């Protein structure tokens, strides 16, 4: 994979080789891939519609409609591109029928019931097995090219926050601040925002996923800024909380609790550790401060082609972290009528420990 994006054919070939190995373990000769994110990951094609069949003995195909034929022939690595005008899944099903396939995998979490019904009608003798998790598990461990793109997206994210930091003051509209953040990310080379930028102030900062409004920032407001750039399809994710004015001892203690919980959770990120243990670490710290009841979501999630993917750092999660996993670590406390405090970073699980990819400071959270 090149520094400019996922264009190295060897990376896609290696991913499909790993996929074929997993399919062989499940005794599945074919996998029908319909999720555009999965298709991009496995082939390099970034169109919004397509159906691929992978895993065959030297026969891997991508069906697209006429809108995407030229793009697919340029982007898809190592697959035969077939243009169809009526029904991508129907065409894929007809191909399986022609090959007299009896078993195939499918991405059950992406197919609607109607789509699956249509696929089955095109190849009635094929038994379909759910395999979405198989691809999600492959995606959870990033290769070197993917890590580099996320690292660059993280640097853009951190720089954009530094750009707009002087605007975080009383009288600024939440919506204006969010728009400026997204403009700064684009100006620094991002394709855009990986998700809708969150700027939430005052009591609304206690809403974990609040959307920016026309509200003006005010003195003595907590302000949560949750942002992430996307670069060549790969995302970063970062949150910082600022306070406008002189915080009370209670607020300072809340902020210290979240910062300490995040630091210890990041310190626990190691290959071989269960994802749920990272969540336990953060909760243990917050409970020690007496504020664990205000933590209302999981400690983090994988980030890459999607801003929420495997592994999930939540209660009871048994997935074992591996070198190459990229996750967020984002403990928070949310107190009704007072507001919320969340600190989030994108972190790589490296062979020798955690590597922080987002770089914005956390100690200068007070805006006098």
pLDDT at 189 exceeding the cut of 90: yes
**Residue 75 tokens, joined:** 């982007």
Strand order in the sheet with 309-313: 309-313, 300-302, 326-329, 345-350, 353-356
State the sign of the Cα–Cα–Cα–Cα dihedral 270, 272, 275, 278: negative
Q: How many CB atoms lie within 10 A of CB 155?
A: 18
Give the pLDDT confidence of 17-40 residue by residue, as tens digits. Answer: 999 999 999 999 999 999 999 999
**Cβ(92)–Cβ(111) below 8 Å:** no
Give the pLDDT confidence of 278-294 residue by residue, as tens digits. Answer: 999 999 999 999 999 99
Nearest to 233 by CA among 38, 10, 31, 17: 38
- Side-chain half-sphere CA neighbours of 229 within 13 A: 28
What's the pLDDT at 5?
44
What's the pLDDT at 132?
86
The string of DSSP codes covering 155-208 is HHHHHHHHHHGGG-STT-BHHHHHHHHHHHHHHTT-SEESSPPEEEEGGGGGST
> Residue 363 — pLDDT band, cuts 50, 70, 90?
very high
pLDDT at 256 exceeding the cut of 60: yes
Q: Maximum Cα–Cα distance for the chain, whole Å?
A: 72
What's the pLDDT at 58?
74
Give the pLDDT confidence of 231-251 residue by residue, as tens digits. Answer: 999 999 999 999 999 999 999
Predicted TM-score of the model (pTM): 0.94
Give the least confident one: 113-117, 270-274, 343-347. 113-117
pLDDT at 2 exceeding the cut of 80: no
pLDDT at 7 exceeding the cut of 60: no
Distance (Å, rounded) from C-alpha 172 to C-alpha 273?
Answer: 43
pLDDT at 219 exceeding the cut of 50: yes
Burial zone of 330 (CB within 10 Å; 0-12 exposed, 13-18 middle, 19+ buried): buried
pLDDT at 56 exceeding the cut of 60: yes
Distance (Å, rounded) from C-alpha 84 to C-alpha 22?
Answer: 29
What's the pLDDT at 1?
45
**Cβ(139)–Cβ(310) below 8 Å:** yes
Long-range pairs, 115-120, Cβ under 8 A, ≥24: 115/34, 115/89, 118/87, 118/89, 118/90, 118/93, 119/32, 119/89, 119/90, 119/92, 119/93, 120/93
Helices in 59-143 by DSSP H: which ranges? 69-75, 88-98, 113-122, 132-139
Nearest to 264 by CA among 286, 246, 239: 286
Domains delineated in the chain: 9-139 (3.40.350.10), 144-367 (3.90.230.10)
Q: What is the mean pLDDT of the chain?
A: 95
> Residue 9 — pLDDT band, cuts 50, 70, 90?
confident
Give the pLDDT confidence of 132-160 residue by residue, as tens digits. Answer: 899 999 999 999 999 999 999 999 999 99
Give the pLDDT confidence of 57-88 residue by residue, as tens digits. Answer: 778 999 999 999 999 999 999 999 999 998 99
pLDDT at 165 exceeding the cut of 80: yes
Quote the percentage of the chain above a pLDDT of 90.
91
Strands 61-64 and 51-54 turn out to be antiparallel
Give the pLDDT confidence of 91-106 residue by residue, as tens digits. Answer: 999 999 999 999 999 9
């Amino acid at each position: 994979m090149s520094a400019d994006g996922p264009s190295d054919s060897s990376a896609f070939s290696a991913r499909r080789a790993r996929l074929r190995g997993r399919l062989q373990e499940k005794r599945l000769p074919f996998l029908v891939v319909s999720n555009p994110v999965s298709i991009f990951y496995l082939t390099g094609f970034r169109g919004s519609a397509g159906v691929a069949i992978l895993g065959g003995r030297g026969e891997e195909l991508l069906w697209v409609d006429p809108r995407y034929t030229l793009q697919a022939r340029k982007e898809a690595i190592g697959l035969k591109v077939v243009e169809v005008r009526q029904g991508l899944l129907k065409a894929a099903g007809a191909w399986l029928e022609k090959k007299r396939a009896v078993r195939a995998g499918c991405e059950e979490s992406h197919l609607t019931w109607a789509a699956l019904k249509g696929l089955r009608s095109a190849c009635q003798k094929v038994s379909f097995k759910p395999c979405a998790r198989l691809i999600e598990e492959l995606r959870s461990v990033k290769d070197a090219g993917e890590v580099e793109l996320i690292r660059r997206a993280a640097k853009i994210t951190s720089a954009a926050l530094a750009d707009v930091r002087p605007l975080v003051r009383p009288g600024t509209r939440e919506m204006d601040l969010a728009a400026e953040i997204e403009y700064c990310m684009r100006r620094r080379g991002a394709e855009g925002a990986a998700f809708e930028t969150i700027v939430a102030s005052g009591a609304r900062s206690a809403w974990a996923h609040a959307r920016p409004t026309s509200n003006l920032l005010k003195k003595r407001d907590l302000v949560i800024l949750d942002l992430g750039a996307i670069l060549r399809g790969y995302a970063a994710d970062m949150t910082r909380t600022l306070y406008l004015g002189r915080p009370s001892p209670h607020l300072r203690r809340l902020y210290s609790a979240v910062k300490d919980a995040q630091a210890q959770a990041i310190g626990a990120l190691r290959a071989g550790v269960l994802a749920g243990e990272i969540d336990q670490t953060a909760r243990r710290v917050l409970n020690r401060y007496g504020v664990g009841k205000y933590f209302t979501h999981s400690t983090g999630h994988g980030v890459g082609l999607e801003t929420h993917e495997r592994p999930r750092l939540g209660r009871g999660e048994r997935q074992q972290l591996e070198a190459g996993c990229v996750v967020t670590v984002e403990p928070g406390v949310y107190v009704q009528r007072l507001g919320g405090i969340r600190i989030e970073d994108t972190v790589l699980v490296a062979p020798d420990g955690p590597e922080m990819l987002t770089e914005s400071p956390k100690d200068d959270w007070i805006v006098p």
